[in-house]
Amino acid sequence: MRRAILLTVLLGCLFEANAFDPALQDDSQALVRHFKKPPNPVGPAIKEGSFVPNEGETISLMGGADVYLMRQSPDLDIAMLSAWKGKKLRVRNLGWSADTVYRQQRPMYFYTEKGDDREGSVPDLREKIDPGTMILMFGKMESLDGEARLSEFVTSYEALVSALKRFSERIVLVAPIPFSEAETPAQPGGDSRELAEERNVILAKYTEAIRALAERQGVRYFDSGDYEPGAFSGNGLYLSETGQRQFAVRLAKELGWKGEWHDGIEEEVRLKNQLWHQYYRPTNWAFLFGDRQSVPSSRDNEDPSRRWFEEEIQEIPSLIEASEKRLWKLTEGIVK
């Protein structure tokens, strides 16, 4: 019995020595490490009325739940592809529900150069994202901290923008979408309209700070304007499908879109977005590039030298590319 207890203690100590505490991973600017570092920042900066996409440019969206939920709608992709057909644009949603300017927490070793140090483990081998146009939408959830934290918000947001500018000057800061009244109040008898109005008073101060930040940094600022209650989900926090289409159209028009809307490509866009989501946020991360790569279930049961999770993830980029090629042909009218 004593030997069993001693062995358990020793194994526990060994595990603790090799374990990695996710809280120790610096995710204060985790979004920065998602991108490939070019020799020089991608340019030119997007000035008023001057947006002309580069050939094959990647348009990345970053933010919290507002942006994350946009992956469920094809509208932003359709607007961008319709506006600049022939440019072979790639749209990448990097939204993460809990992301703020203070922290974008990711799983262990997510897009880090160094991975788990156990034998047989490898670092994150996924392709990093080409820097191009970067669209950021932060501030809504942060505003719930109140005016007292506004200065800290500005400092953190400015630091994030400055870091991203080392990769691309083509940055757009989007004003937070206002709060709306909820269909069902969070508290019985609560006045959701009054609560939304109170929150929007503080949010307006954050929005003005973002506008001033964009001016200081020399990047584009975009305010999508007001929305009717029907453009929001039932809780009044996020845009509904109707609202997301309004946002997509307004953003594209702000950047200079005057073209047609290509109906009939929705399903292909949804397929591409689902493939991208599987690649960007793969399931079983710990077994893929995390801290459980060395366990038997991370490997082929007949050939332990094979890591089948890794093999599967490396197949996805070619599927995304094939889907995007179909989209480019559809929007260019090559395929009827």
E strands, the chain, where?
58-63, 90-93, 133-137, 171-174, 220-222
Among left, alpha and beta (phi > 0; psi -120 to 50; other), residue 218 is left
Spell out the CATH class of 23-331.
alpha beta
E strand or H helix that includes residue 246: helix 241-254
Burial class (CB in 10 A: 0-12, 13-18, 19+), 326: middle
Q: What SS3 state is found at 107?
A: coil
CA–CA distance, 317 with 280 (Å, rounded to integer): 10
Q: Which residue has the higher pLDDT, 62 or 192?
A: 62
Q: Which of 33-37, 201-205, 283-287 has the lowest mean pLDDT?
A: 283-287
Tell me the pLDDT tens digit for each residue of 50-67: 688 999 999 999 999 999
CA–CA distance, 153 with 225 (Å, rounded to integer): 22
Q: What is the mean pLDDT of residues 159-188?
A: 87
Q: Which residue has the higher pLDDT, 8 or 49?
A: 49
User: What one-letter code names the amino acid at 318?
Assistant: S
CA–CA distance, 309 with 331 (Å, rounded to integer): 34
Q: Are 166 and 41 in contact (CB under 8 A)?
A: yes
Give the mean pLDDT of the chain: 87
Q: Are 166 and 212 in contact (CB under 8 A)?
A: no
Q: What is the mean pLDDT of residues 158-179?
A: 97
Counting other chains too, the contacts that 143-146 makes at CB distance below 8 Å and 24 or more residues apart are 143/176, 143/199, 143/202, 143/203, 143/205, 143/206, 144/199, 144/202, 146/202
Burial class (CB in 10 A: 0-12, 13-18, 19+), 331: buried
Confidence of residue 41 (pLDDT cuts 50, 70, 90): very high
Q: Are 226 and 178 in contact (CB under 8 A)?
A: yes
Q: Which residue has the higher pLDDT, 8 or 157?
A: 157
Q: Which of 47-51, 70-74, 99-103 has the lowest mean pLDDT?
A: 47-51
Tell me the pLDDT tens digit for each residue of 136-160: 999 999 999 999 999 999 999 999 9
pLDDT at residue 167 tops 80: yes
pLDDT at residue 19 tops 90: no
* Residue 185 pLDDT: 53
122 Cβ contact list (under 8 Å, min separation 6): 115, 289, 293, 307, 310
